[in-house]
Each structure stands twice: as structure tokens, then as C-alpha cells.
Amino acid sequence: MSWLVTGGAGYIGAHIVRALSDAGMSPVVLDDLSSGHAEFVPEGVPFVRGSILDHSLLVETLRSHRVAGVIHVAGYKYAGVSVQRPLHTYEQNVEGTRVVLAAMAETGVSHLVFSSSAAVYGTPDVELVTEDLPKRPASPYGESKLIGEWLLRDQAVATASSDAPLRHTSLRYFNVVGSSDPSVYDTSPHNLFPLVFEALIEGRTPKIFGDDYDTPDGTNVRDYVHVGDIAAAHVVAAQRLQAGEPVEPAYNLGSRNGLSVRQIMDAMARGTGIDFEPEIGPRRPGDPDRIVATGDLAARDLDWQNRYTVDEMVRSGWEARRAAG
């Protein structure tokens, strides 16, 4: 039996694939390479190129690879851009998840780990985000992830008395950074780490958007979690589902403490060996002072830990980016 990773050729998905392999769980990758990279898929791992919107391809893949469960990572992940492309975002994230669930139901595959997002909370005005906080997504991307969670919930109810009742959990996380493999790095044009790395490689000065927030150093504070820790939590969630052990409907994969943008910039200078003073630009509309989540439930059930310091996050991400040339 194997586990299908949708979006397994992407930055996060490729790390999950490696963690599954290390755990002896025989991953299979399905990815349309719209943002993933075929070279991120390890040698020997079956790779199916195609879209999660292709119902027939999903059914064929689930059957031919004797899939026991799905880790659903594929989706359109750019919250800011989703405001300009809401229909595309809903097609990929809502319709895509519906098609995955339909293919699973047709083939009797009943375990699903959903890669959700802390964007379901919007911009909460609390010190620490917990799973029971009201959901007020502030973008089509956040809305699409919340609808995805609803689809899982409703399908679990609908299949509860069937031969293959859906068992699922959703993992919500914020800013995923670093690398656990020098051949895999973050290629997003919108995330902070690759934006800073590219600026430094090109000889430009990175920019901080606003330094007058209500935080200790004036720059906003966010959760930054290492991709290796994220991948490990997905694997444990899959193992618990397959073993029939109880899981919560959703888990925050949070750091509890958070890091400021200034702290990230200081760590960037240390980790890259490039001394720089970031430019200070105006605030971006809607950016809250602080968004940080607990990971208490995930620590209890999924062996969730923050195993990396900020310097290790930066150094691992920089080394992977530099290895790419």
C-alpha cells in the first residue's frame, strides 16, 4: 500500500514525500508542475503528471498504486494574488478538493490529510491563535481552504455508515521556511525567504514594510516554521489515520512565540554572510501587528516540535537555494 501526495513536486510536498519514504510509507506523487518541479521528486518515487481536476486520472492512480490514503497538498497558494484571481483559486482549491474526495469515494480510499492554512483565521486580534478561534478568512485563498475543510467534514458525515468512512484531519500553518534537502528549495515569488534570498543574490537590498507596529522592535511578528517539521507532522497524521487512532479535525502547526521581520532580516545577514541594512518601506494595507499560533494539540497528537532555530532555518534555506545555482 502507498500514500498519494498531491502537489508532491512542490516545495512542501517534496519534503513530505521524503519524510514518507523515510518512514517506509511508499509515496506516490501527482503534480501538474504548474508550480512544482519534476526534479524535486526523488528517484524511484512514482510520479504521475496531471491535475487534481482530472477525475479519471485520480481514480486510475489511486487504483493502480493501491493507495491507502492521500496527503492533499496541491492547490493555489498565493493569498494576495487570489484577490485578483478568485475564480482560479476556487477552481483549484475547492473544485480540486471535491474531485479528490470523489475519486477517493469511488476507489474506497478513506484516509486524508489536508494541507490547510492559518489563512482560515484571517487577521485575528489575539495573542495566540487556537483551533477554536472563529474563522474569518480575509482572502479567496483563505476562504477556499476553509471550504476545503468543510468538504472533508461533510464527506465524513455522508460516508460514516459506508464500508469506507472518510477519516481526515487538516493541518493549518503559516510561513513555511528552510530546507531539509539541498535539492529542494522554496521557489515562490511571494514568500519572504525566497524574496530576500533573490534580492541578496542580485545585489539588491531587502525591504521591510513598516517598522511602527505595536511589537518589541516595531516590525510585525509571524509564525515561521521549518519545512522539515511540517513534513514530519503530516507523516504522523497519516500514520494515526492508517492505524485507526483518534485525530482532531484540525491542528495548528504553530511556533507559539513567533519571529519579527527584523529578527528574520538579522538572521539572514548572519546565515548568508552578507551584511546589509534593510530598507524600510511603508506598511502594507491590512498587515496586522502579530499573528502567532499555538501548536499544543499537534504536540500532543502529532509529535509536533519546533526543532530548528531561526539561524538553522535561514542557513538550510540559503544552502538549498545556492545549491540550485
* Helices 55-64, 96-107: crossing angle, 10 deg rounding: 40
- Let me know whether 207 and 274 are in one domain: yes
- Average pLDDT on 287-302 reads 92
Query: Which DSSP state fits 206?
Result: P
Query: Cα separation of 39 and 66, whole Å?
Result: 24
Q: Please state the pTM of the whole predicted model.
A: 0.96
Each residue's pLDDT tens digit, 37-94: 999 999 999 999 999 999 999 999 999 999 999 999 999 998 888 999 999 999 999 9
Give the residue from 271, 70, 260, 46 showing the smallest Cα distance to 178.
271
Grid cell locating 222: 509571524
- Let me know whether 43 and 119 are in one domain: yes
CATH code for the domain of 297? 3.90.25.10
- Let me know whether 228 and 263 are in one domain: no
Give the residue from 100, 91, 72, 188 showing the smallest Cα distance to 144.
91
Q: Which of 121-130, 229-238, 283-292 has the highest mean pLDDT?
A: 229-238
Q: Is 166 left (phi over 0), alpha (psi -120 to 50) or beta?
A: beta
CATH code for the domain of 44? 3.40.50.720
- Let me know whether 74 and 185 are in one domain: no
Does 220 score more than 80 pLDDT? yes
Averaged pLDDT of the chain: 95
- Let me know whether 73 and 204 are in one domain: no
Find the range with the poorest average confidence among 11-15, 25-29, 209-213: 209-213
- Let me know whether 139 and 206 are in one domain: no
All residues at 6 or more sequence positions from 269 whose CB lies less than 8 Å from its CB, including other chains: 275, 276
- Average pLDDT on 262-283 reads 95
All residues at 6 or more sequence positions from 24 whose CB lies less than 8 Å from its CB, including other chains: none
- Let me know whether 213 and 278 are in one domain: yes
Query: Cα separation of 266 and 310, whole Å?
Result: 10
Does 164 score more than 90 pLDDT? yes
- Let me know whether 11 and 128 are in one domain: yes
Considering only residues 93 and 289, tell me which one the structure prediction assigns the higher pLDDT: 93
Check: CB of residue 49 under 8 Å from CB of residue 31: yes
Grid cell locating 172: 493549518
- Let me know whether 97 and 191 are in one domain: no
Does 325 score more than 80 pLDDT? no
Percent of the chain topping pLDDT 70: 100
Does 193 score more than 80 pLDDT? yes
Does 216 score more than 70 pLDDT? yes
Query: Cα separation of 101 and 107, whole Å?
Result: 10
Check: CB of residue 168 under 8 Å from CB of residue 238: no
Query: Cα separation of 141 and 192, whole Å?
Result: 18
- Let me know whether 273 and 261 are in one domain: yes
- Average pLDDT on 18-33 reads 98
- Let me know whether 231 and 284 are in one domain: no
The three-state DSSP-derived secondary structure of 265-322 is HHHHHHHHCCCCCCEEECCCCCCCCEECECCHHHHHHHCCCCCCCHHHHHHHHHHHHH
| Catalytic machinery residues | 141
- Average pLDDT on 103-107 reads 98
Find the range with the poorest average confidence among 173-182, 270-279, 281-290: 281-290
Q: Tell me how many domains the chain contains.
A: 2
Residue 10 belongs to domain spanning: 2-175+224-252
Does 236 score more than 80 pLDDT? yes
Check: CB of residue 256 under 8 Å from CB of residue 40: no
For 37, half-sphere exposure in the C-beta direction (CA atoms, 13 angstrom radius) is 14
Does 283 score more than 90 pLDDT? no
- Let me know whether 243 and 262 are in one domain: no
All residues at 6 or more sequence positions from 239 whose CB lies less than 8 Å from its CB, including other chains: 23, 25
What is the residue-wise DSSP string for 204-239?
A: PPPEEE-S-SSSTTSS-EE-EEEHHHHHHHHHHHHH
**pLDDT score of 289:** 87
Query: Cα separation of 208 and 192, whole Å?
Result: 10
